[in-house]
């Protein structure tokens, strides 16, 4: 982003990605939820937000207009293109990881049948 475009909006399938230039930083945003993913409770996403701060740099944000969740990361305005692309790739990986974890957590637990360890002696 060379300063001529203060806001760039991209799409990866149905997911929006945006880069917004401010005076001192570039803000990257990756859409985490959309209407098809609203079935998962907010608490599941919040738990991931707290636990994953040690591994991911994207912060969880709620859009006040749409109610959708986003992953957001700020970078220095003068960062290199390689750094920007690496950060964007990391946000996309974080999004995919979170979606897989929340989908797995939302599945009902498997019920196991009791299995006899010995045969009856009759």
pLDDT digits (tens, 9 = 90+) for 61-93: 888 888 888 999 999 999 999 999 999 999 999
The Cα 99–Cα 6 span in angstroms is 29
Paired with 53 in beta bridges are none
* CB-based contacts of 98, cutoff 8 Å, min separation 6: 32, 45, 48, 52, 71
> pTM score > 0.85 for this model?
no
- What the chain holds in terms of domains, given with CATH numbers, is 7-106 (3.30.1460.10)
């Amino acid at each position: 982003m060379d300063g001529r475009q203060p806001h760039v909006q991209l799409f990866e399938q149905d997911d929006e990605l945006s880069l917004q230039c401010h005076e001192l930083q570039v803000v990257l945003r990756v859409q985490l939820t959309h209407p098809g993913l609203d079935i998962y409770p907010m608490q599941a996403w919040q738990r991931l937000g707290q636990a994953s701060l040690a591994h991911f740099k994207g912060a969880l944000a709620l859009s006040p207009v749409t109610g959708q969740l986003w992953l957001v990361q700020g970078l220095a305005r003068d960062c290199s293109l390689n750094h920007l692309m690496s950060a964007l790739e990391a946000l996309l990986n974080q999004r995919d990881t979170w979606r897989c974890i929340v989908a797995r957590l939302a599945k009902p637990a498997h019920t196991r049948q009791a299995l006899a360890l010995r045969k009856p002696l009759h």
